[in-house]
Chain A
Amino acid sequence: GAVVSQHPSWVICKSGTSVKIECRSLDFQATTMFWYRQFPKQSLMLMATSNEGSKATYEQGVEKDKFLINHASLTLSTLTVTSAHPEDSSFYICSAPRGRDEKLFFGSGTQLSVL
């Protein structure tokens, strides 16, 4: 079964509104979680690394004020897309490393459509 839960699976919102996406590790603690963005037929692009108890680390070119990340607990990280624009429409997916060898497990993804 799934070891990482992500909600919602899809969301439609109006331009200018904010959308929050949750990523939860199930039955294990994750001090680090990763957020990716995936455009249709393209690869997963790392947006940021979410760190429990400290600030997220953003990849170059990712606006931290637009994509707010909060690692609220050892099992929950949230990504908030603020003041959403149509160009923010994409598939967002989180992942968390599990186990001593830190194998990466993915959430089911969130398809965001901004009208």
Chain B
Amino acid sequence: GENVEQHPSTLSVQEGDSAVIKCTYSDSASNYFPWYKQELGKRPQLIIDIRSNVGEKKDQRIAVTLNKTAKHFSLHITETQPEDSAVYFCAARANNLFFGTGTRLTVIP
């Protein structure tokens, strides 16, 4: 099955700086790559996604890039704010959705 790796596991940035989280996947058949934000004890919330026919997607301060050849995709958050602090999960889907191990992002005011 799919194996999704995510780095770093923890990330601390100063408010206003950018944050980058990277993921790799193993199944070349995966064609959908969502990113979720999860606050403690709450449900994961979809924040952005990208499909394999697109190389980059942006939504305000959030962007995702995909390199199909290298089988990796990244989340970029610019102008970080304290409310961006949460755990972020990448995921990849061929048939089922498999999650990365998560990144705990802390934005320091």
A pairs with B: yes
Question: Which residues of A are at the interface with B, using a C-beta cutoff of 8 A?
Answer: 2, 4, 34, 41-46, 49, 91, 93, 95, 103-109, 111
- Which residue of chain A is the closest to B104 with respect to CB atoms? A41
Give the chain B neighbours of A105 by CB distance below 8 A.
46
Question: Which residues of B are at the interface with A, using a C-beta cutoff of 8 A?
Answer: 34, 36, 41-46, 49, 89, 96-102, 104
* Contact across chains for A49 and B99 when beta carbons are under 8 A apart: no
* Contact across chains for A43 and B100 when beta carbons are under 8 A apart: yes
A53-B57 Cα distance, complex, nearest whole Å: 37
Give the chain A neighbours of B41 by CB distance below 8 A.
91, 109, 111
A57-B98 Cα distance, complex, nearest whole Å: 15
A33-B68 Cα distance, complex, nearest whole Å: 28
A45-B1 Cα distance, complex, nearest whole Å: 13
A4-B41 Cα distance, complex, nearest whole Å: 16
